[in-house]
Amino acid sequence: MTIAKVNPDILSSGSFLDIFNTEDLLLKNKLIENEFDEEQQIEHPFVEQSIFNHVTLTKSSLYKFEATDVVFNNCDFSNCNLEEAVFLRCEFNNCKMLGINLNNAYISTCIFDHSILDLASINHVQIKHCQFLESSLQDVGFTDNKLTKTTFTDCQLNQISTYGTSLKGLDLSLNSFELIEADFASLRGVIVNEQQAALLAARYLNINLSY
């Protein structure tokens, strides 16, 4: 599924580090490929209408990173600090985002497809019109978030923590988990399958279902 409004035919090859050559820390219409740019320290960088293929940014601090119409393919953001980031119409395909910090971010009209976000901090985040497809969000902090028209399909959600995040109307029935850390308010109105209902009843109501 294509969401990012980027035309590959007009992109010019470049390096992520070219961002330091611009006064406003902006990369636009760039194709960035096969780079290892670990442990970068950049405050409020901008990337627009670009494609990143096989780019490694592990342990980087990209505070207030803003990305609009960007496709990230097979990129590694593990242990990055992207606090207060803004992602608009971005695609994350087969990306590794272990332990990423996305606290206080704004994420709108994005896809996370076959990506790994285990141990991530995704708290106090506005998530609108997003899709999580066949991705792993295990042991993720997912508290005090505001979800709008966001879906999870075939995802691993074991031990995700959703305190303060309303899951009302969210369909988790096609996802996998053995435990969700939550409060009653966050679980109210969530849609689950029979097995998941039994797990939640046993955990939070001390009710064991008989079949």
Within a domain: residue 210?
A: no
Tokens linked to 7: 């035309």
Pair 52, 71: CB distance under 8 Å:
yes
Give the amino acid at 10.
I
Angle at 121 between CA 119 and CA 122, to 5 degrees: 125
- The CATH code of the domain that includes 160 is 2.160.20.80
pLDDT tens digits, 141-150 = 999 999 999 9
Within a domain: residue 61?
A: yes
CA distance 174 to 153: 6
Q: Which residue has 């294509």 as its token pair? A: 2
Within a domain: residue 2?
A: no
Q: Ramachandran region of residue 185, left (φ > 0), alpha (ψ -120 to 50) or beta?
A: alpha
Domain count, the chain: 1
User: What is the value of pTM for the model shown?
Assistant: 0.95
pLDDT tens digits, 89-131 = 999 999 999 999 999 999 999 999 999 999 999 999 999 999 9
Domain of residue 31: give its range. Answer: 8-204
Within a domain: residue 123?
A: yes
CA distance 80 to 92: 15
